[in-house]
Amino acid sequence: MFVINCPYCGERDQSEFSCGGEAHIVRPKQPTELSDDEWAEYLFMRKNIKGVQFERWNHAHGCRKWFNMVRDTSNDKIYAVYKMGEKPPVI
Amino acid sequence: MKNKYSIFSLIKNAFSQHENWKQAWGNPEPKKEYEAVIVGGGGHGLATAYYLAKKHNMKNIAVLEKGWIGGGNTGRNTTIIRSNYLWDASAGLYDHALKIWENLSQELNYNIMFSQRGVMNLAHNLQDVRDLKRRTHANRLNGIDAVWLDTKQVKEFCPIINISQDIRYPVLGGTLQRRAGTARHDAVAWGYARGADTMGVDIIQNCEVKGIKRNGDQVEGLDTTKGFIKTKKIGVVAAGHSSVIANMAGLKLPLESKPLQALVSEPVKPIIDTVVMSNAVHAYVSQSDKGELVIGAGTDAYISYTQRGSHDVVEGTLKAILELYPIFSRMKMLRQWGGIVDICPDASPIISKTNIKGLYFNCGWGTGGFKATPGSGDLFAHTIANDEPHKLNAAFNLNRFVSGDLVDEHGAAAVAH
């Protein structure tokens, strides 16, 4: 449990948010041309990093907007919060 | 067995104030090379080594554990054992384990305190009722004992449950598997460790894997904190840290690691003589032999390796517990802890070969791996020894995420199972 600095609402309790998992997984441009392996990679395979991870969050019980966050999953320390579409910071 | 436990050894050792019991397993330094190395010294890993030695005649095996054996999820779960799963593949897998549990104390000559006190799953809404009834029928077709109980029968089976119909989650009935129950989790790890050690398996604690060496498509060995260990077969049973090991081999797994919490109360006199699970409200409760209530909560909804878990999750669970069991309202909770569980998209495990030769994974048990410990070890040992899955774990291969042939147990088990 931790406090998240929502880029739209400011600091709120983590329980107001829901996590959307790993960020920057790009949806395939030509889905019809993908092999089964490529689909599996896109849909299911995850880095599941122990350490600094880029992830998507949604302020579900607040502004309901999506944004990105950089967090160390080994200690829940948050390094950066940035809006969708913005360039990920270098950590 | 070099040091058989019996009533006679107990009496004999009583004369020397129990000071001359032999060590149950050794503390060896790693050899240069092993026939197979198991990464992870929890129940599943130790069971794998035990069955590799016992059934597949492999003697030169090591189990590497970064901490102490049974210190991970084996020592952190709520010890529930059951096999009432919906799908055929799952029913086969978990009932295989349950059948081994039934004779495990005798087989290991180690009291794992297996207690078939029954597991009851509650239904709180109409959909629960339909799902659980369907599951009962599916179980019986698979030869697994299961009965449907109406509200009155639930109350008879567990008298402390509040069956008032005007609470937020009223009890509309439940299923009961009488063969299900609990076992002492530490004893399972210790029993398998002792059994494996007796057959010559090296159990190496405080030895963390730092890298996996490959030669093309074949594994060659592991870099560890105790040096390089050469081996052609690596079985990874690292639970929440499976992805960390997979990344070392350049492999991605369909897993997300999340903290799952449990807590125990102060010890009290016997009050609940079964296990009651309520998937819809995330509340699981049983009573340990020491008298503590053992309560299972839900997972945090984000990836984390912190082994603690959030307060709001515990709060939600306790609210549900208090509504279902008003008698517990003045109980004090003694301890709370978290374990890191590796969750698959279809909530079913992976016991599988990989596309790297000699690298095998047993992971994805999510919130319910303890119950499968003996079966998982047996089937994973078969998979490693023969380089082919057993028919009972064939469906739990890694390739199902490519083929789409998933074993979707979410519907049967909601969240935790």
Cα dihedral angle (B244, B249, B250, B251), rounded to 10 degrees?
Answer: -70
Contact call for A46 and B302, based on CB within 8 A: no
Q: Which residues make beta-bridge pairs with A57?
A: A19, A67
Are the C-beta atoms of B145 and B139 separated by less than 8 Å? yes
pLDDT confidence of residue B282: 79
The answer to whether B254 contacts chain A (CB < 8 Å) is: yes
* pLDDT band at B238; cut points 50, 70, 90: very high
Residues of chain A found within 8 Å of residue B300, distances taken between Cβ atoms: 1
Least confident residue range of A8-22, B141-155, B205-219, B272-286: B272-286
Q: How confident is the model at residue B281 (pLDDT cuts 50, 70, 90)?
A: confident
- Which residues of A fall below an 8 Å CB-CB distance to B? 1, 14-15, 18-19, 21, 36-37, 39-41, 43-50, 53, 55, 73-76
pLDDT at B417 over 90: no
Residue B359 pairs with which residues in a beta bridge? Answer: B234
Total-model pTM: 0.95
Tell me the β-bridge partners of B361: B236, B352
Give residue limits of the domains in chain A: 3-83
Pair B47, B379: CB distance under 8 Å:
no
For residue B213, is pLDDT > 70? yes
The Cα of A86 is separated from the nearest Cα of chain B by a number of Å equal to: 22
Mean pLDDT, range B312-340, rounded to an integer: 94
Question: CATH for A3-83?
Answer: 3.30.2270.10
Q: Which of B248, B253, B305, B348 to mutate to test the interface with A (most CBs of A within 10 A)?
A: B305
Contacts (Cβ under 8 Å, ≥6 apart) of A66:
A20, A56, A57, A58, A84
B 272-291 → A contacts, CB under 8 A: none
Over range B140-148, report the average pLDDT. 97
Q: Is the pLDDT of residue B77 over 60?
A: yes
Give me the mean pLDDT over the B20-33 stretch.
95
Q: Dump pLDDT digits (tens) for B62-75.
A: 999 999 999 999 99
In this complex, the residue of B253, B303, B345 whose CB is nearest that of residue A73 is B303
Q: How confident is the model at residue B26 (pLDDT cuts 50, 70, 90)?
A: very high
Nearest CA in chain A to B346: A44
Check A15 against B310: CB less than 8 A apart.
yes
Question: B412 falls in which pLDDT band (50, 70, 90)?
Answer: very low
CB pairs under 8 A between A and B: 70
Whether the predicted pLDDT of B19 surpasses 80: yes
Distance from CA of A46 to the nearest CA of B (A): 6
Q: Considering only CA atoms, which of B206, B345, B413, B392 is closest in space to residue A21?
A: B345
- The contacts of residue B142 (CB under 8 Å, 6+ apart) are B88, B91, B92, B95
- Say what percent of chain A tops pLDDT 70: 100
Q: Which residues 114-173 on chain B approach chain A with CB closer than 8 angstroms?
A: none
Q: Answer whether B257 touches A (CB < 8 Å).
A: yes
Of the listed ranges A6-15, B226-235, B306-315, the one predicted with least confidence:
B306-315
d(CA B151, CA B133): 14
Contact B256 A36 (CB under 8 A): no
| Of B257, B300, B403, Cβ closest to residue A48 | B257
pLDDT of residue B2: 62
In angstroms, the separation between the Cα of residue B366 and the nearest Cα of chain A is 14
In chain B, whose CA is at the least distance from the CA of A49? B244
Cα B130 off chain centre by: 27
Pairing relationship of beta strands B256-265 and B293-299 according to DSSP bridges: antiparallel
Complex ipTM > 0.90? yes
Q: Which of the residues B302, B355, B399, B407 would you substitute to probe the A interface, choosing the one with the greatest number of A C-beta atoms within 10 Å?
A: B302
Please, which pLDDT band fits residue B3 given cuts at 50, 70 and 90? Answer: confident
Contact A22, A54 (CB under 8 A): yes
Encoded tokens for B364: 């994805």
Question: Taking CB atoms and an 8 Å limit, are A46 and B247 in contact across chains?
Answer: no
Q: Could you read off the pLDDT of B351-394 as tens digits, one per residue?
A: 999 999 999 999 999 999 999 999 999 999 999 999 999 999 99
Residue B413, pLDDT > 60, answer: no
User: Tell me, what's the pLDDT at A24?
Assistant: 95
Instruction: Give me the mean pLDDT over the B270-283 stretch.
Output: 91
* pLDDT over 60 at B398, yes or no: yes
Query: Is the CB of residue B306 less than 8 Å away from at least one CB of chain A?
Result: yes
Which chain A residues are closer than 8 Å to B404 by Cβ? 36
Whether B303 sits inside 8 A of A55 (CB atoms) is: yes
pLDDT at B283: 85
Do residue B302 and residue A45 have CB atoms under 8 angstroms apart?
no
Position B333, amino acid:
M
Average pLDDT of the residues in B20-31: 94
- Partner-chain contact A14 B252, CB within 8 Å: no
Does the pLDDT value for residue B411 go beyond 60? no
Nearest CA in chain A to B402: A40
State the pLDDT at residue B149.
98
- Cβ distance of A36 and B310 shorter than 8 Å: no
Q: What is the pLDDT of residues B298-320, one digit of tens each?
A: 899 999 999 888 999 999 999 99
| Mean pLDDT for the stretch of residues A24-38 | 94
CA distances from B103 to B41, B42, B126 (A): 22, 20, 38
Q: Please indicate whether, in this complex, the C-beta atoms of B401 and A49 are within 8 angstroms of each other.
A: no
C-beta atoms of B303 and A36 within 8 A: no
State CA A5 to chain mean position distance. Answer: 14
CA angle, corner B392, sides to B339 and B399, nearest 5? 75
